[in-house]
């Protein structure tokens, strides 16, 4: 079971509308096998301001796909930004599209939201074909872009009100929805101020609210928490969880591995336009080593010995942090490995201050996956804040120095 599934069961009361998800958790949380054709035809068109799907309209035991994309290729000149990407988002689930800067996340978002035409490949969104039903695809999506699309010269309220009017809502309905969203995004107090006076976090929240005005079946969030302070990030996570509890499907791109771990039912990792891994957060963690063994030494001079020992007992390349005299490695059979590592270090006369065995972090998964085929110059192309320092240590380690 994914982290989100666990978290979600603790989510509070389901708010308004769209209680259409009666499908089984297992079916929703896992990866969808490619080739199994879902009955996309059973998904009715949403109306302009709401989603009309009810539980009775979905035949029991069948799943629908909010997004089904196959072999999407997009080149910019000689550069293949997307190089044959497949992905499925079962309705009512969150797919985390994870990758470093330049991996192709925004390009995939732009393709799926009809802002960019792919060179080849096919996709449906809420059952509508991307190539032949672009209008219906757009009506099915609420997009919150990587760069907030907020009109500075309007108030927060006006920004939301006009989105509603653009989508054909009546005045009273658009006004009510705008006020409702301002309250939901903790912007009530600032609703009548020009949005140019908003802080970065407030702008992002307003932008996110704009994507929700029409309650679309699919919300696309391109790096929704980039640049947010930790508190706003947690608030955004809560909002995403509320949306999903309400039946919305979400495509979420992120560079923050923790974010995908927290929110995504399934994760697709892309790097340089290609899918390098897919699965639930737990599956990805299990695939590369089930636990993370971490040790802190008393003496920095012993770090080379620690590296050698961790390399021998671990399932991946150890990572050594010289500054804090700490090393960690992913391991498959936890407790035995701990004992073995400690015995070996003791034999060498190494003084160990701390030992910990933890579930691996998604950062570990990410590093393992993207370092696997040793890119020639990963740092310049992939300034990933979460993993940069660690990569530097890795490289140092690879050169044998401390």
Closest approach of Mg ion to the CB of residue 326, in Å: 32
- Taking CB positions, which residue lies at the least distance from Mg ion? 106
Min dist CB 160 to Mg ion, Å, is: 24
Q: Between 86 and 180, whose beta carbon lies closer to ligand ADP?
A: 86
- Nearer to ligand ADP among residue 76 and residue 147 (C-beta): 76
Residue 101's binding partner among ligand ADP, Mg ion, none (Cβ under 5 to 8 angstroms by kind) is: ligand ADP
Minimum Å distance from CB 107 to ligand ADP?
Answer: 3
49 to 78, contacts with ligand ADP by CB under 6 A? 76
SS3 sequence, the chain?
CCHHHHHHHCCCCCCCCCCCCCCCHHHHHCCCCCCCCCCHHHCCCCCCCCCCCCHHHCCCCCCCEEEEEEEEEEEECCEEEEEEEEEEEECCCEEEEECCCCCCHHHHHHHHCCCCCCCEEEEEECCEECCCCHHHHHHCEEEECCCCCCCCCCEHHHHHHHHHHHCCCCHHHHHHHHHHHHHHCCCHHHCCCEHHHCCHHHHHHHHHHHHCCCCCCEEEEECCCCCCCHHHHHHHHHHHHHHHHCCCEEEEEECCHHHHHHHCCEEEEEECCEEEEEECHHHHHHHHCCEEEEEEECCHHHHHHHHHHHHHHCCCCCEEECCCCEEEEEECCHHHHHHHHHHHHHHCCCCEEEEEEECCCHHHHHHHHHHCCCCCCHHHHCCCCCCHHHHHHHHHHHCCCC
Going residue by residue from 86 to 115, which x/- string records binding to ligand ADP, judged by CB under 6 A?
-------------x-xxxxxxx--------
Residues that bind Mg ion (CB under 5 A): 105-106, 146
103 vs 182 by CB, closer to ligand ADP: 103
Number of residues that bind ligand ADP (CB under 6 A): 11
Rank residues 245 and 367 by Cβ distance to ligand ADP and give the closer one: 367
Minimal distance in Å, beta carbon 253 to Mg ion? 6
Residue closer to ligand ADP by CB (options 5, 276) is: 276
By CB under 6 A, name the binding residues for ligand ADP: 76, 79, 81, 99, 101-107
């Amino acid at each position: 079971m994914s982290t989100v599934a666990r978290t979600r069961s603790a989510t509070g009361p389901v708010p308004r509308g769209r209680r259409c998800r009666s499908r089984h958790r297992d079916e929703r949380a896992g990866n969808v096998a490619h080739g199994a054709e879902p009955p996309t035809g059973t998904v009715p068109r949403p109306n302009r301001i709401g989603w009309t799907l009810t539980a009775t309209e979905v035949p029991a035991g069948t799943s629908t796909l909010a997004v089904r994309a196959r072999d999407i290729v997009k080149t910019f000149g000689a550069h293949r930004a997307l190089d044959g990407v497949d992905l499925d988002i079962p309705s009512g689930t969150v797919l985390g599209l994870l990758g470093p800067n330049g991996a192709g996340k925004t390009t995939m978002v732009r393709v799926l939201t009809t802002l960019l035409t792919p060179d080849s490949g096919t996709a449906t969104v809420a059952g509508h074909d991307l190539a032949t039903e672009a209008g219906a695809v757009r009506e099915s999506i609420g997009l919150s872009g990587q760069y907030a699309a907020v009109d500075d010269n309007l108030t927060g309220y006006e920004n939301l009100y006009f989105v509603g009017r653009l989508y054909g809502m009546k005045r009273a309905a658009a006004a009510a929805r705008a006020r409702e969203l301002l309250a939901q995004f903790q912007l009530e107090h600032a609703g009548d101020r020009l949005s140019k006076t908003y802080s970065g976090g407030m702008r992002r929240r307003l932008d996110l609210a704009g994507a929700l005005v029409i309650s679309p079946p699919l919300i696309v969030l391109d790096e929704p928490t980039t640049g947010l302070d930790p508190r706003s990030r947690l608030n955004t996570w809560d909002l995403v969880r509320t949306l999903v509890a309400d039946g919305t499907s979400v495509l979420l791109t992120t560079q923050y591995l923790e974010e995908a771990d927290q929110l995504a039912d399934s994760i697709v990792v892309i790097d340089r336009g290609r899918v390098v891994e897919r699965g639930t957060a737990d599956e990805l963690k299990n695939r590369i080593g089930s636990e993370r063994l971490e040790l802190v030494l008393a003496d920095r001079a012993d770090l080379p010995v620690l590296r050698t020992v961790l390399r021998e007992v671990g399932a991946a390349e150890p990572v050594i942090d010289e500054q804090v005299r700490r090393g960690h490695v992913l391991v498959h059979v936890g407790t035995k490995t701990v004992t073995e590592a400690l015995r070996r270090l003791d034999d060498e006369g190494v003084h160990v201050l701390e030992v910990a065995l933890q579930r691996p972090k998604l950062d570990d998964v990410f590093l393992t996956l993207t370092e696997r085929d040793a890119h020639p110059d990963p740092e310049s192309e992939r300034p990933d804040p979460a993993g940069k320092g660690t990569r530097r240590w890795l490289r140092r380690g690879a050169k044998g120095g401390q």
